[in-house]
Chain A
């Protein structure tokens, strides 16, 4: 039993070193690109031209941010659109999805397996991008319509499955006794089940919110009016279309741009930071909900 006496054998030490190093390097690599962008955004434009993007700026200048915030209407507009779509979308999606989930787990719902399969089948097979696009644009007239940004995300099948699993752990006796008291299904759902499901609703809600916040694909397909651009799509346009960038900068700054050249490189990065801003601040605090959600999904999945 002599081996038990050594708490840290040489092998464990080696292992620990490898483990710590590997994890630390990986974690650093995950953070690095963001650090580069932040540093680039506060670098003076001329030193970018001369020296390129570096981890530590050669010369610091907040010009890009000054221009961005000079007349922040445009950015605020994009933020507003994203906030609107995210809030409405998340609440609607949560409400409707959990309603379906509740119905699906009610044992007295005779057709539940049929519907479950009906919903589930859509994840295995789809008609493809083209028919869906034609449907949305030609027949439903959803071009340049906020609905086009909200509706596609309303019913995530996996979300419904997770909510359903959670709800099935709520004792049936609650529903039964409420029914005896004469409550309607809908009332039972809203007044009893929803409050009891708060943990899963918060977690799934966060996932849904993240999806809505980060979406740009729907905008690329359906939105052309530039005062309807949500944040991520707005950012995409700035980075990829140089004239859009100049347009935005000209409109948003009070500085006379003919006098100084537009710091386009640092401006792009500043916009990136601004677009990501809230997420970077929020996600460490909300992390535990996502972790719980992922673990829940992994076990039930």
Chain B
């Protein structure tokens, strides 16, 4: 009964691992995987000398860190507010609204971005023009995209993430709050001394898990939101988009797989490290 998934993973996950040899070969299509000549670490060297490697890896890590921090702040705050708000109707409606981004594909979000930031017709420029400001060509202002991407990521996961923390908050024993109330604690005090400490384990675990994935970028988001715009590559390329383009557009199998392999190895190492750290804190939460 475990046969189907076993076969599946054997073929689709473990076999490709063997294919990592492409990283060490000068792959060409006719010779295929086995006959292409070896070229040692040349592909890796190429990846680093081109200067792209550092840029792309730094981008990936930096963006992920920004996502983690902003996401955490927004999601926890929202969760706390939601747990304190009295009106059930308000809660239901806002939660539904906040959940919408999660259900949309990045293609649709890409259309949103186009709609807002387009130079001639975009809503942003329309708005700016209406208050007599100069329209901005967002696609040329490379520095803006850091903020746009972080905002997009936060926007997409606000509803989903706040739900996880809300679940944790709901799990807190009500008696704690009641006894605090009797002792005359104010709202802020209750939050600071009860809510936050009680959900800290969750926060820590989720954050550490996110750090464990710090070398993986969300391909969908980076590709669609920037619209694969070459001007923006420097500021917005992450390992995933870089590998994708190297594979499909440049047909540089060797370098693409070198970069991909590097990413897998780094991710793996990081995961092992962060898991060991999580283990120290609370054994239940460790991944393995």
Contacts and interface: CB of A to CB of B under 8 A. Distances in A.
Q: Are A and B co-members of a single complex?
A: yes
Interface of A: 3-4, 9, 11-12, 15-16, 18-20, 22-24, 26-31, 33-34, 36-37, 40, 48-49, 51-55, 96-97, 99-100, 102-104, 115, 117-120, 122, 124-135, 138, 151-152, 154-155, 160, 185-186, 189, 210, 213-217, 221, 232-233, 235-236, 239-240, 265, 268-269, 272, 275-276, 279-280, 283-284, 287, 290-291, 294-295, 298-299
A115 B263 CA distance: 25
Contacts of B8: 151, 154-155
Contact of A276 (B12, B14, B98, B104): B104
15 contacts: A20-B85, A22-B81, A24-B94, A34-B100, A49-B120, A52-B121, A52-B123, A99-B1, A127-B18, A128-B260, A135-B11, A138-B29, A215-B105, A216-B105, A283-B103
Given A126-B17, A134-B19, A283-B103, A119 B9 contact: yes
Given A52-B121, A53-B115, A54-B126, A216 B247 contact: no
B2 A100 contact: yes
B226 to A, nearest CB: 11
Interface string B84-105: 1110001001111111111111
Contact of B6 (A118, A120, A214, A239): A118
Interface of A is mostly: helix
How extensive is the interface on chain B, given as a class?
35 or more
B262 to A, nearest CB: 9
A31 B101 CA distance: 8
A160 B98 contact: no
Contact of A30 (B97, B106, B186, B257): B97
B163 A295 contact: yes
B22 interface: yes
Provide the main secondary structure of the chain B interface. Answer: helix
B195 to A, nearest CB: 12
A239 B112 CA distance: 11
A269 to B, nearest CB: 7
B272 to A, nearest CB: 8
Given A127-B17, A276-B108, A27 B164 contact: no
Nearest to B109: A33
Interface stretch (B48-56, B59-67, B138-146, B153-161): B153-161
B107 interface: yes
Contact of B164 (A15, A189, A214, A294): A294
B111 A239 contact: yes
Given A48-B121, A132-B19, A30 B158 contact: yes
A2 to B, nearest CB: 10
A33 B112 contact: yes
Given A127-B13, A127-B20, A280-B100, 10 more contacts: A9-B186, A26-B74, A53-B122, A126-B17, A128-B264, A130-B243, A132-B19, A154-B8, A221-B248, A294-B160
